Amino acid sequence: MSTPDFNLLITLDVLLTEGSVAGAAKRLRLSPSAMSRALARLRETTGDPLLVRAGRGLVPTPRALELRERVSQLVQDTEAVLRPAVQPDLKHLVRTFTLRTSEGFVENFGAALIARVAREAPGVRLRFMHKPDKDSAALRDGTVDLETGVVGKAASPELRTQGLFRDRFIGVVRSGHGLSEGPITPERYAAGGHISVSRRGLDKGPIDQALEPLGLQRQIITVVAGFSTALALARTSDLIASVPERHTVNLRNDMHSFVLPVTVPAFTVAMLWHPRLEADPVHRWLRGCLRETCGE
């Protein structure tokens, strides 16, 4: 069975509305003969005359009367599908977005983002999920709507990304710790007991690589999975935590922070989403909220 020509729906809609070949031809900017040929095709496709002669005009058949409202609605629905998406009324929008973020991100930016969203779209709810790895399957299958993190080499090339802010690692100790006074040299820094942060349980990273040329090595006392855990331990012990500066602003209250005495490359924290949500006006609005919240 051949695929029907869906363009005939528009022609049929205009013919049934005008009730005239000449009127339909003028509205569609076709010649009367071209419109007559289109009517002939419609008659052949539907198996019905559709419009029949009555005096000097044409009248619709019962089949045409039956189709008129259905065809008109189909054409309107098709036009709506093909039009660019319109920004909905955020005040009356009801929707839930799932965001997957690294530990510490919600603690630092979550409250401001939730407040911003609540002001503009009180019916929108944010669901935050912990980010245990860099697997992008959740973005592809729609389980997650938006993700934040450092874009690594393993990130799927199909994903859309946009930077949120630049960050760098700093050292953090409890108030009154020995490193809270005097200059921080590589030797003093390396000599202390350290907390390593690694989701995969690794005890080596960029900081250790920066210390190696100086002949220095950190003494890793413990390994934890997240920055907030590292800071909680450092707050109540003599251990040193090395964490991202902007990522942990609200987690370091009443603690002493210092610039690392070695050069460690800065990095960009970005948001990631799947291309199918690129043009979604509400998702675009949410991305704007996140971008502005992180930029404040």
Q: What is the DSSP string of 261-295?
A: SS----EEEEEEE-GGGTT-HHHHHHHHHHHHHHH
Please give the CATH superfamily to which domain 90-159+276-295 belongs: Periplasmic binding protein-like II (3.40.190.10)
Distance, CA of 81 to CA of 278 (rounded, Å): 16
DSSP reduced 3-state for 10: helix
Model confidence at 87, pLDDT cuts 50, 70, 90, reads confident
Asked if residue 1 has pLDDT above 70, the reply is no
Q: What is this structure's pTM?
A: 0.69
Q: What are phi and psi of 5, to 5 degrees?
A: -85, 105
Residue 196's pLDDT is: 95
Residue 161's pLDDT is: 93
CA dist 162 → 229, 260, 287 (Å): 28, 27, 9
Cite the residue boundaries of each domain of the chain with CATH code 1.10.10.10.
7-82
Higher pLDDT, residue 194 or 104:
194
Model confidence at 88, pLDDT cuts 50, 70, 90, reads confident
Distance, CA of 150 to CA of 163 (rounded, Å): 9
Cite the residue boundaries of each domain of the chain with CATH code 3.40.190.10.
90-159+276-295, 169-265
Lowest mean per-residue pLDDT among 132-136, 210-214, 234-238, 291-295? 132-136
Average pLDDT, the chain: 89
Per-residue tokens: 164: 């949120």
Maximum distance among all alpha carbons in the chain? 105
Determine whether 17 is exposed, middle or buried from the number of CB atoms within 10 Å of its CB (0-12, 13-18, 19+).
middle
Asked if residue 140 has pLDDT above 90, the reply is no
Asked if residue 156 has pLDDT above 80, the reply is no
pLDDT single digits (tens) 23-77 = 888 988 999 899 899 889 989 888 889 889 887 788 889 998 888 888 888 887 7
Asked if residue 3 has pLDDT above 90, the reply is no
Task: Classify domain 7-82 by CATH number.
Answer: 1.10.10.10
Mean pLDDT of 191-218: 92
Residue 150's pLDDT is: 87
Which residue type, as a one-letter code, is found at position 13?
D
Distance, CA of 29 to CA of 270 (rounded, Å): 51
Asked if residue 84 has pLDDT above 70, the reply is no
- Nearest to 225, CA basis, from 251, 206, 200, 252: 200
Across the beta sheet with 255-259, what order do the strands follow?
219-224, 193-197, 240-244, 169-174, 255-259
Please give the CATH superfamily to which domain 169-265 belongs: Periplasmic binding protein-like II (3.40.190.10)
- Cβ-contact 72, 10 below 8 angstroms: no
